[in-house]
Structure 1
Amino acid sequence: MVAAGLEHGIDPAVVLAGTDLVAADLERPAALVATWMEARVAGNLAGSVADPAAVGLRLGSRFHLSTYGVAGLALLSSPSLQAAMQFAKTYAPLMPALCQIRQSLRSGRATVEIDGSRLMDEARPLLLARDLSATLLAVREVIGSQLHLTSLDVSFNVTDLEIWQSTFGIAPRRGASRTAYTFACPWSTDPLPQSDTHVCESATAECHELLSARRASNTVANRVLDRLWSAAPDLPGIRELAAALLTTERTLRRRLAEEGTSFRKLSDHVRFSIAIDLLESGGASVQQVAGHLRYGDTSAFTHAFRRWAGVSPRAFRRGQS
């Protein structure tokens, strides 16, 4: 996404704003980028280009299976398309998509649905288009040939029909209730061109270890932070967030307390980080920062900022100059 921004003349600092990342961090092979950071970057990029969906399509076309790591190897060496789709479902956290991917195989027809309902509004069209394009590219590379769609539905505004036609080989049905595509695949259980049982089993075992390690480090606090950052600046309340995590408010409070934190601390961390980023950039007034963070008035924001930083927003900005 940073590279796409550069192609549109957008400084990397603008695309990475609010993430604590700098361009040099992305050059480190071992660097880990949290989900909320990627969602924030997508929102920044979407807000800086004229046609976010078209940019998303081009981004998705760069997601070759070689960029998936060992998960890509497992997909390529799967015994059949049906097996590859099941692998993608089981190991979804190892895939590059930020949207939820739903897939089904019925009566020789496959449907792939891209659900971006949990994403912040400004990033949704870009990420829906990106993941739509990326999943289709993955299927094409797995089967080793072109794929002809029978339908393509999009739930967001599409302006550049030419790029959609060239990417999918079919015009999208705009204004649909969902974002999805379908294709005929009576051959879904046939052997794939690069099928290799030994390679697939070895790659799948490694993916299992990676997924287990990721789940072990996936604390409740980190999951809450991911949700808060994805929704920022319109942070959800604890009741809404608990429902999104399929738990109760009481249980969420208890789990966070067990990890030595609280919902208020995590919410304050997100607001403080955004405030610092805006104040340091120098482009927004204190009143504008307060409005961006959805405070009813500047005094309420100033009071909260004093609690976080020990100084007022104006004093903090003077100290940075």
Structure 2
Amino acid sequence: MRRSSYRHVRVPSFSIRILRDVLIGAGLDHLAAFQAAGLHPDVAETPGSFVTGEQELAFELKFVELTAGRTDLWVKAGYGYFLASFGTQGLALTTSPTLEHFVRASTATDLAYAMIESTPIINSQGVITGLRLEHTGAPPELVAFSVYRDVIGTLRSLMMISMKDPFPLTVAQLPLNEVSPELAKILAAPVVLGASAVGLEWDEGLSTEPLPFGDSFQHETYLREAKEKLRQFRLEQDWARSVVDAMKTTVDKGVLATDVAAALNTSARTLQRRLEENGTTFRQLRDQARFELATDMLATTNASVSEISRRLGYEEASSFTLAFKRWSGRTPSQYRSSPPARN
């Protein structure tokens, strides 16, 4: 999912809980991660609790900072993710009749509500022989951890649905300069480093073998439900996009709900109701508008951080710097010196 969408999607607090447990087990300051994400620790203890993608991102960035150099902890975190973590999408994958169905379902439903994009690997005969995972929208400091986590999570899923341990990969391509012994052992296949993206490949004959838990009827049912949820999310994002765009026109003068509602030809009360229905808040969308304007000015103008801060309606440049670091994990100056690829 692209970063602009990921920031607003609401997901169960599974990932927060998994990473929290790793930090506690390692004796690291897990409360610092909650503080960085603006979350109360109870969110990891309350069944049914949700967080935004922005909050999950902030938590993950702090997790990576706290675990710097501890790839053993990244491996441990990866083992916390499995198909049940992904709700209806996970059920669609669990009931896949074949690996071909698994790959097509995982790339069609945007399974991972994270900054990752999945595509099938197809050989010259048109047969699916693997899965490609790209982290193009992730902050640079998060990529290595994401590779560890997502590779292990994917392999766990493949092992579970095929009942093959280890899963028989023919090759694993990784966008890393080195790989830890723990991850190499899990992969149990030749590893190619320095790739542009993750590529997990297997023998083409495996793709059409019936899977032990495959059920065509259930798979199609869950897949349709997952696609409908994704469709609804995209419709909501279209509306959220309109709100953010309306906010951008008045952000320098202060963003008022009445002004945004008027720009969208609706009432402030209806605007508030739509925000609640879509699981977002006026403040979150205002932050999104400010973030998009800030990154654009940092990347395309020579305006100082103080000038950008003023244009975005901040009284103090320090307040803008703190907010920008909360949004992106970096200060405005750090972002300007090394901006990510723009989607």
User: Which of the residues 22, 46, 59 maps onto 2:77?
Assistant: 59
Measured after TM superposition, the shift of residue 54 of structure 1 is 4.3
The structure 1 residue matched to 2:68, chosen from 50, 57, 73, is: 50
| Alpha carbons 2:309, 2:315 under 8 Å: kept | no
- Whether contact under 8 Å (1:153, 1:174) holds in the other structure is yes
1:130 counterpart = 2:137 = no
CA distance in 2, matches of 1:187, 1:302: 55
- Of residues 45, 49, 58 in structure 2, which corresponds to 1:31? 49
SS at match of 2:164: coil
Question: For each residue in 1:74-96, what CA deviation from the matched residue of structure 2 results, as whole angstroms up to 9, or x when unmatched?
Answer: 2122222111211111111x435
CA contact (8 A) 1:60 1:131 kept: yes
TM-score between the two structures when normalised by the length of structure 2: 0.63
The C-alpha deviation readout for 1:17-56, integer Å capped at 9, x for no partner, is: 4422121123333322222222222211111113265433
- Deviation of 1:110 after TM superposition, in Å, equals 1.5
RMSD of Structure 2 on Structure 1 (CA): 3.9
1:218 has 2:237 as partner: yes
1:149 corresponds to: 169
Sort the Cα spacing of 1:158 and 1:40 in 2 relative to 1 into closer, same or farther, 3 A: farther
Aligned-partner residue type, residue 104 of structure 1 = I
Q: Is the 8 A contact 1:56 1:128 kept in 2?
A: no
1:14 aligns with 2:32: yes
Alpha-carbon distance, 1:296 to partner: 4.8
| Map of 2:340 onto structure 1 | none
Uncovered stretches (5+) of structure 1, i.e. residues with no partner: 226-236, 238-253, 272-293, 314-321
Q: In 2, are the aligned partners of 1:8 and 1:49 still within 8 Å (CA)?
A: no
Per-residue Cα deviation, 1:128-176 (whole angstroms, up to 9, x for no partner) = 221122112212222221322221222223352x102221113533233
Query: Is the CA contact (8 Å cut-off) linking 1:14 and 1:44 kept in structure 2?
Result: yes
Percent identity over the alignment is 18
Q: Distance in 1 between matches of 2:242 and 2:116?
A: 16
* 2:122 corresponding residue in structure 1: 105
CA distance, structure 1, for counterparts of residue 99 and residue 107 of structure 2: 12
Alpha-carbon contact 2:95-2:218 (below 8 Å) kept: yes
Q: Which residue of 1 aligns with 2:107?
A: 89
The 10-residue stretch of structure 1 (29-38 or 215-224) with the greater mean CA deviation from structure 2: 215-224
Q: For 1:27 and 1:136, how far apart are their aligned partners in 2?
A: 27
Taking structure 1 as the reference length, the TM-score comes to: 0.67
Point out the more displaced range, 41-50 or 68-77. 68-77
Say which is worse superposed, 120-129 or 68-77, in terms of deviation: 68-77
In structure 2, distance between residues paired with 1:182 and 1:82: 12
Shift in CA distance, 172/142, structure 1 to aligned 2, threshold 3 Å: same
2:189 aligned residue: 170
